[in-house]
Homo-oligomer: A and B are copies of this chain.
Amino acid sequence: MSRIVMKFGGTSVATTERIRIVAARVAREVKAGHEVAVVVSAMAGETNKLVAYVDEVANGYGLLHDYSEYDSIVASGEIVTAGLTALALQGLGLKSRSWQGWQIPIRTDLAHGKARIDEINGELLIEAMEEGVIPVIAGFQGVNQLDRVATLGRGGSDTSAVAIAAAINADRCDIFTDVDGVYTADPRIVPKARKLQQITYEEMLELASVGAKVLQTRSVEMAMKHQVRVQVLSSFEDKPGTMMVEEEEMMEHELVSGITSDRNEAKVTLLELADRPGVAAGVFGPLNDANINVDMIVQNISVDGKTTDMTFTVPRIELARTLALFETQKTKLGYKAIQTDGNVAKVSVVGVGMRSHAGVALTMFQALGKESINILVISTSEIKISVLIEEKYTELAVRALHSAYGLDAQ
C-alpha cells in the first residue's frame, strides 16, 4: 500500500462531468489498496472570472488591488471544486470530505497573491485517511498568521499538492494535467520529441525557469527540498507520465534531457555607459526596486577604458516600463543611448549530463552556426546553456539542437 497525493488541474475539473471522471480515477487507486489525498484547482475559467470581478471593481476607481481581498475572492474557486469532488467520491460509495486551506491549516507567510507555504499540519489529513476518508484539499490557498486567506500565485495548486505530499509523507505526488508528461522538446515544434520517463529535479527546475510551464517553479523547488517523488501525467489518458527523481535514481543518463524556447523576453542594451565601479548596481538596482526580473546579462569589455555596453533581457511585457524607468535615470547613469529588441527568443539546452561532459556548449554553437543562426547573448548555469537568438529562428534552432544532441525519436 502506498500513500499517494493526486492533483487535478483546472481543465481536469472543468465541468461536473469531468469531476466525476476524476472521482472514478481516484476510486481506482483507492480500490487498488492505496491511501489517497486529492488536491484540486478551480474549474477552468473560474479563477479568471473572479479576477475579472476584482479588476472591474478596482479599475472602476483606478485602484490597485488590495491583494488580501483579491486572495479571499479568488481562493473561493477551489473551495467549490473541492466540495464537488468530495461529493463525487461519495457518489462512488467512498468516504470523502473537503478541506479548505484554513481548516488544515496550510500556513503561509504574509505575502498576498504569491504567498509561500511556511508549514502544513498533516495530522488531520492523516487521521482522516486512517479512518478511510479521502481528503479533497482546495489547492492554491492557505491562511496566514493573521487568519487571512492567502493564495500561492498562478499554478499554485501544484505547490499545494507537493507540500501536502511532504506533510503527509506521501510515497508519490501525481500531478494530472493536460499534457501527458515532460518531453525532450515541445512536440508542436519538434514532431520527433520524446516523452521522458524520468527527469531530475534540477532539470525540471531549469525547464520550468526557461518557459516549459508544466509545473509551477516553486512546486519543483519544494519537491526537491523535501524529496517528494512527483509524476506529471495526463488526466485524459491512462498511461504513465514523467517522474521527477533524484539524480542517483535516474535509470538512464542522457547528456541532454531537453531543448526549450522562450519568447517572453526582450533585449535591452545601454550604449556607452560610463565604466566605473558600481555601474551594474546603478543599472539593476532600479529594475529590482520596480520588480522587473532581469534574466540574461552581458557586459562587453570596455574598449576605451571609459565606457562600456551593457546588454540584458527583461520580460517582454515589462519593456515599456523598463524604458520609462531608464529615461528617468539617464543623467544619473550617464549612458549615451538605449537599444531594445522585442523580437528575440531564448533557446536553452538542459541536462544534468553536462556536469560531467565537456563539449556540450560547443555542440550547441556548431549546430546553430551550421544553420546560420546568430547568437546574440549566451548565459550558462551548471546544467543549462541558454542563447538569445532572433525570434524567427526559434523553431529551426530547437529542431537543429534536438537532432544535434541525438534526442530525435527513432
Binding site for B on A (CB under 8 A): 16, 19-20, 50, 53-54, 56-58, 60-61, 63, 65-66, 68-70, 72-73, 76-77, 79-80, 82-84, 86-88, 90-92, 97-98, 100, 102-103, 147-149
- B97 contacts A57, CB within 8 Å? no
Report Cα–Cα, A77/B77, bound state, in Å. 10
Residue from B65, B72, B77 within 8 A of A98 (CB atoms): B72
Whether the Cβ atoms of A56 and B16 lie closer than 8 Å is: yes
Q: How far is the CA of A76 from the CA of B80 in the complex (A)?
A: 7
Is B102 a contact of A84 with CB atoms below 8 Å?
A: no
Q: Is the CB of B68 within 8 A of A100?
A: no
Q: Choose among B53, B77, B90, B147 the residue that contacts A63 (Cβ–Cβ < 8 A).
A: B90
What would be 18 A-B contacts, judged by CB atoms less than 8 Å apart?
A16-B57, A19-B57, A53-B80, A54-B87, A57-B84, A57-B91, A58-B87, A60-B88, A60-B91, A63-B91, A66-B86, A66-B90, A69-B86, A69-B90, A72-B79, A73-B79, A103-B147, A103-B148
Q: Which residues of B contact A61 (CB under 8 A)?
A: 88, 90-92
A68 to B68, CA, bound (A): 27
Residues of B within 8 A of A90 (CB): 61, 63, 66, 69
- A79 surroundings in chain B (CB, below 8 A): 72-73, 76, 79
Which residues on B sit within 8 Å (CB–CB) of A66? Answer: 86-87, 90
- In the bound complex, residues from chain B placing their C-beta under 8 Å from that of A60 are 16, 20, 88, 91
Nearest 3 CB-CB pairs, A to B? A61-B91, A73-B83, A16-B56
Centre residue among A19, A65, A83, A86 by max chain B CB count within 10 A: A83
Q: Is the CB of A20 within 8 A of B87?
A: no
Given B69, B80, B82, B103, which contacts A97 in the complex, CB threshold below 8 Å? B69
Q: Chain B residues near A88 (CB, 8 Å)?
A: 57, 60-61
Q: What's the least CB distance linking A333 to chain B, in Å? A: 37
Residue of B nearest to A102 (CB): B102
B83 and A69 contact, CB distance less than 8 A: yes
Chain B residue nearest to A77 in the complex (CB) = B76
- Closest residue of chain B to A62 (Cβ to Cβ) is B91
Q: Which residue of B lies closest to A16 (CB)?
A: B56
With contact pairs A20-B60, A60-B20, A79-B72 given, residues A84 and B147 touching in the complex (Cβ less than 8 Å): no
**Cβ contact within 8 Å between A68 and B87:** no
Q: A83 contacts B91, CB within 8 Å?
A: no
Contact A98 B84 (CB under 8 A): no
Q: In the complex, which of the residues A87, A148, A149 has the most CB atoms of chain B within 10 Å of its own CB atom? A: A87
Question: Are A100 and B54 CB-contacts (below 8 A) given A73-B79, A82-B72?
Answer: no
Nearest CB of B to A274, in Å: 44
Residues of the B chain whose Cβ atoms lie less than 8 Å from the Cβ of A92: 61
Q: Is the CB of B98 within 8 A of A50?
A: no
Q: Are B84 and A54 in contact (CB under 8 A)?
A: yes
CA–CA, A61 to B27, complex, Å?
14
The distance in angstroms between the C-alpha atoms of A91 and B54, with both chains bound, is 12
- For A63, list chain B residues within 8 Å (CB): 87, 90-91
> If A19-B57, A53-B16 touch, does A83 touch B72 (CB 8 Å cutoff)?
yes
Smallest Cβ-Cβ distance to A85: which chain B residue: B57
